[in-house]
A and B are shown apart, each in its own frame.
Chain A
């Protein structure tokens, strides 16, 4: 497989780090790939620009950070403004128009998916916004099987929350397919 470098960015509390961990864990434990997840954060407990890096590969991964992502997700305007210049030429940018106004064109496929609005319309809980985003990333990249994410969710989530997460993942996949 081609080495895939992803950066998920947003604001503290949106769940971008959780989404990155779920993705990397699914790659390693469910699909037998190598993955490394790293994050950058400041001393603040909440808020501020958050970023998490994931590298997925079938080869060894040494340097654990991402300089130029193939896949960049920005869930706030601040994150978009800060990170859009680092996208790898020919890569992919995913944003949500509720939070991000795309201002400049980059050499990348740009997907603006109404993830937040659809999650609120159909589930009504903002907490699974990040899982919807993860579904959209999988739908747009075919990086992993969605079932692999579900298996990780099953291990980590209390049963009562599983349905909501499964639904959010499906919404993301659906939005990606329709895009």
Chain B
């Protein structure tokens, strides 16, 4: 077996992806079921000259990665539900100040301390709207270790390209299960590096003055330029402003830079969709059960397909609409009370044909669960 083939946990696959992407600073506070990310990085980062800090809590961890990112490093933190709640205020700061960073949430059952060692997908809407105020956010997910690796690299690339926090929304099953990962050779997946300003030291640098292509070159904080960073609405120098024109312009910029690129940010996989009259839509560990059903039922001649979403936010509405256009029924498979189902209903032409196949008891939804719901929808009974 090749030396770049590993057998490991999903949390470790995330670490491998982050290191491949160039992670150099991690601050975190351990919490099940994300702890292996911090644990592994506490050993790995010092070996390559990176920094690992266990902070006093999740709020401090989020703030620490924001500061470290400003100084020019690729940064990440990892947590689960209760910790993700604590990070929300500082996450909004990173949105407002346009700080590239990656925030991992390995989902467990909630609300509150909930069901720490069991799986859930209840934080989908928290990832979208957890921090206050109008804003846009990028959220990626994955159902297997090869994709956990790939989406982690993507998260760093998107964070740098759009100067935005990116949320990796994994779950307990994918985080803790072990399977094969083949680590790509260096250069096999392209990396996006920090876009730094060409303005020399001693010359005025405007941290929030976009280039013609809309991107904002950064200057390593504490380096040759003095500039201001704030969570208040701000002008191109980074100083607070309540000028309605400035406020409107910044709000539009923050939302449009993500939402106008929803098509480009959409990551997804298609399985057997070509002639499917029933389309399953799923993501994360639930998509493994959905794919199991699709492969099984196809072998028996049923026209079943799966659209696996890897980008949850911005929601790929156009993609979902297109793929569901010819379907007689659309079944969203997820482990919550219908958070993505509502987005799918809003995206498709015939929302009355959209159904939910879910499980909310801390157990991974099984192929049998899905099959039973399909039979009910088809009027055949369980």
Tell me the minimal C-beta distance from A30 to chain B in angstroms. 7
Contact residues on A (Cβ < 8 Å of other chain), bracket: 20 to 34
B7–A42 contact, CB under 8 A? Answer: no
Chain B positions within 8 Å of A32 at CB level: 1
Question: Contacts A29-B7, A67-B366 given: A38-B173 contact, CB under 8 Å?
Answer: yes
A36–B179 contact, CB under 8 A? Answer: yes
Considering the complex, give the chain A residue whose CB is closest to the CB of B118.
A40
* Number of A-B residue pairs with CB-CB distance less than 8 Å in the complex they form: 57
Chain B positions within 8 Å of A28 at CB level: 1, 5, 7, 179-180
Considering the complex, give the chain B residue whose CB is closest to the CB of A55.
B179
Tell me the minimal C-beta distance from B333 to chain A in angstroms. 12
**B216 CB–A CB distance under 8 Å:** no
A30–B1 contact, CB under 8 A? Answer: yes
B178–A36 contact, CB under 8 A? Answer: yes
Question: Contacts A38-B177, A64-B173 given: A24-B7 contact, CB under 8 Å?
Answer: yes
Contact residues on B (Cβ < 8 Å of other chain), bracket: 20 to 34
A62–B291 contact, CB under 8 A? Answer: yes
**B51 CB–A CB distance under 8 Å:** no
CB < 8 Å: which of B173, B179, B367 contacts A61?
B179
CB < 8 Å: which of B5, B177, B285 contacts A29?
B5
**B116 CB–A CB distance under 8 Å:** yes
B178–A37 contact, CB under 8 A? Answer: yes
Per-position 1/0 for A23-44, Cβ under 8 A of B: 0110011101011111101110
* B173, B177, B291, B366, most chain A CB atoms within 10 A: B177
A29–B366 contact, CB under 8 A? Answer: no
Tell me the minimal C-beta distance from B276 to chain A in angstroms. 17
Chain B positions within 8 Å of A30 at CB level: 1
**B196 CB–A CB distance under 8 Å:** no
Question: Contacts A29-B1, A29-B5, A29-B7 given: A64-B177 contact, CB under 8 Å?
Answer: yes
A24 to B178, CA, bound (A): 8
A43 to B113, CA, bound (A): 12
A37–B1 contact, CB under 8 A? Answer: no
Chain B positions within 8 Å of A42 at CB level: 117
A39 to B10, CA, bound (A): 13
**B103 CB–A CB distance under 8 Å:** no
**B359 CB–A CB distance under 8 Å:** no
Considering the complex, give the chain B residue whose CB is closest to the CB of A38.
B177
B117–A43 contact, CB under 8 A? Answer: yes
A35–B179 contact, CB under 8 A? Answer: yes
Considering the complex, give the chain B residue whose CB is closest to the CB of A65.
B364
B residues 1-33 with Cβ under 8 Å of A? 1, 5, 7
**B206 CB–A CB distance under 8 Å:** no
B117–A41 contact, CB under 8 A? Answer: yes
What are 26 sample pairs from A and B whose C-beta atoms fall under 8 A apart? A21-B178, A24-B178, A28-B7, A28-B179, A29-B1, A30-B1, A35-B180, A36-B179, A37-B177, A37-B179, A38-B173, A38-B176, A38-B177, A38-B178, A41-B117, A43-B116, A61-B179, A62-B289, A62-B291, A62-B292, A63-B288, A63-B289, A64-B177, A64-B179, A65-B364, A67-B368
